[in-house]
Amino acid sequence: MSQTQTAVFAGGCFWGVEHLFLGVEGVKELQVGYTGGNVPHPSYEQVCTHTTGHAEAVRIVFDPQIVSFETLAKLFFEIHDPTQLDGQGPDIGPQYRSAVFYTSPQQRETALHLIDILKQKGLAVVTRVEELKEFWPAEDYHQHYYAKKGTQPYCHRRVKRF
């Protein structure tokens, strides 16, 4: 039996990020929530005030024997615009920032390496790489939002970068 690992990505509205990770082989669990701020157990309404410091993020539990963190991180950099500061498409604000919240030194190194590759390709990447301190699950109505609604993300689409 293999051990699972956790990856946490913030790249705009967490609904779209979550939706585009659905169905990735090796992903065992997806949960949207808030991280990177200074308020414990924040609500969506609090995060939207821009006073908590939190980003909308997706926590991914995955089997590294099936899918690597690098593969997930590459997908993350391809499903959002890592050059847009504090926003994603029409969603503007610090809660929509681009960030990788690493859970190990290896994840940090991988994220920084991928950012270097993108910069060498001419992209002005603004993605932050921060240690995961705490992840607060979002309210139930945010979980698997697009699957519940039967619609597609409006500000996320995959752009091949690797």
| pLDDT tens digits, one per residue of 116-158 | 999 999 999 999 999 999 999 999 989 988 888 877 777 788 8
Indicate the average pLDDT of the chain.
94
Q: Is the Cβ–Cβ distance between 110 and 70 less than 8 Å? A: yes
* Domains observed in the chain: 5-149 (3.30.1060.10)
Q: Where are the alpha helices (DSSP H) in 3-158?
A: 14-21, 44-47, 69-79, 105-120, 145-149
pTM: 0.94
Please return the burial class of 161, using the count of CB atoms within 10 Å of its CB with bins 0-12, 13-18 and 19+: middle
For residue 145, what are the CA distances in angstroms to 35, 49, 109, 112?
19, 21, 32, 30
Catalytically annotated residues: 13
- What per-residue confidence (pLDDT) applies to 157? 83
What lies within 8 Å, CB to CB, of 42 at 6+ separation is 34, 52, 54, 136
